[in-house]
A and B are shown apart, each in its own frame.
Chain A
């Protein structure tokens, strides 16, 4: 059974810091991993999608890596800004399906 864990659960940093958010999954037989952002009381915004054949993906100040063999992914946020404050979720598909299992999330607060 696939389980997804995110560390840390919450993070508060001053503006300008570089951050690393962690995501672990128990079943490495995945075909992709996706990172999302969720603002309070809102839906999800897709940040990055990494296919199982890829090692990393980049979008602006965001970089996500994937190590299937160790069951881990990291989301790196460079030069954090107050506008980055949100909850960050990672998700992987159930084995052999399209359906996603979500991690527990990391609540990020970037202080001005």
Chain B
């Protein structure tokens, strides 16, 4: 299994500013992902955080808006840049220990942009 610590757990931010969310895993993992959950919606994958290379973004998400770092196999950050109220969501970090294995999630970061 994997235990994921995500920080901050919540934040209220002014529009136009940026917020960096941290994800720390208690073991080395290959696959790490960032998801967004907009109010009343299910989860949507933002990107795959690749260690040592640029993140792989899903359709509709771009690096300028959601830059991601993955400096090692236990840590990643997601930045939400130039925020607007539409960015108000829960952002979740997830890891998988291998193909076909269970996915584990952090407790999420609840972001409100005012």
Which listed segment binds A: B12-20, B62-70, B73-81, B92-100? B92-100
Interface size on B, residues (CB 8 A): 23
How many residue pairs link A and B with beta carbons under 8 A? The number is 54
A26 contacts the other chain (CB 8 A): no
Name the A residues within 8 Å of B94 (CB-CB).
44, 100
Q: Is the CB of B99 within 8 A of A103?
A: no
Q: Is A42 an interface residue (CB 8 A)?
A: yes
* Closest-CB distance, B32 to chain A (whole angstroms): 10
Q: Is B103 an interface residue (CB 8 A)?
A: yes
Is A91 a contact of B103 with CB atoms below 8 Å? Answer: yes
Q: Which residues of B contact A (CB under 8 A)?
A: 6, 31, 33, 42-45, 48, 90, 92, 94, 96, 99-108, 110
Listed by A's residue number, 29 A-B pairs whose Cβ atoms lie within 8 Å are: A31-B100, A32-B100, A41-B90, A41-B108, A41-B110, A43-B6, A43-B90, A43-B105, A43-B106, A43-B108, A44-B43, A44-B94, A46-B103, A49-B102, A51-B100, A89-B42, A89-B43, A91-B43, A98-B31, A98-B33, A98-B48, A98-B99, A99-B33, A99-B45, A100-B43, A100-B94, A101-B45, A102-B42, A105-B42
